[in-house]
Amino acid sequence: MDLKRILEGALFASREPMSIYQMKKLFGNQKAPTEGMLREALASLSDDYQARAIHLVEVAGGFRFQVSESLIPYLANLTDDKPSKYSRATLETLAMIAYRQPVTRGEIEAVRGVAVNTQIIRTLKERGWITVVGHKEVAGRPALLATTTEFLNDFGLKSLEELPSAEDLIVSPTEDLLDQMDIHGE
């Protein structure tokens, strides 16, 4: 069977991005294609979808199909559900974690100049965007917070290096991060 067709079907059937490793597992006991063969088929598949309503993209979790950004305003009308709205404090906290990770709540508070509400951390954890990656070796052993692969996937990033640089953030880290990453309410 055609490798490109197998990958296309698997990517459409998968609820999450698929890694190269997961793609190799599709072949079970059969001889799996090499990573190079998979990447070549994925590149060809991506080319096939360039002028279409959906595109094949690579994010931190692997590869997935997603709707072309130019169609988002139209597709927003498909549902009456309103996207989640996040407070400025929540988005500033997320930006602090993304840019300074691993970081403690106290370090975030020192930079922001205000206390971080426990609900903000809880909301970001429930969304799957942050996690505790350890504890700082200081009095009280505060939790070290960092972003997750789900954060990268939801923001369409392969890695943290794709975040806009601090120099590119003109008005405020939160506002520009929102504009450049297009996360309003996602």
Per the DSSP assignment, residues forming a β-bridge with 132 are 145
Domains of the chain: 3-76 (1.10.10.10), 88-181 (1.10.10.10)
Per the DSSP assignment, residues forming a β-bridge with 55 are 66
Q: Which of 125, 123, 180 is nearest to 155 (CA)?
A: 180
Q: Coil, strand or helix: which one is 185?
A: coil
User: pLDDT per position in the chain (186 positions), as tens?
Assistant: 699 999 999 999 999 999 999 999 999 889 989 999 999 999 999 999 999 999 999 999 999 999 998 888 888 778 776 667 888 999 999 999 999 999 999 999 998 889 999 999 999 999 999 999 999 999 889 999 999 999 998 888 999 999 988 777 655 555 555 555 555 444
Token pair recorded at residue 110: 């020192």
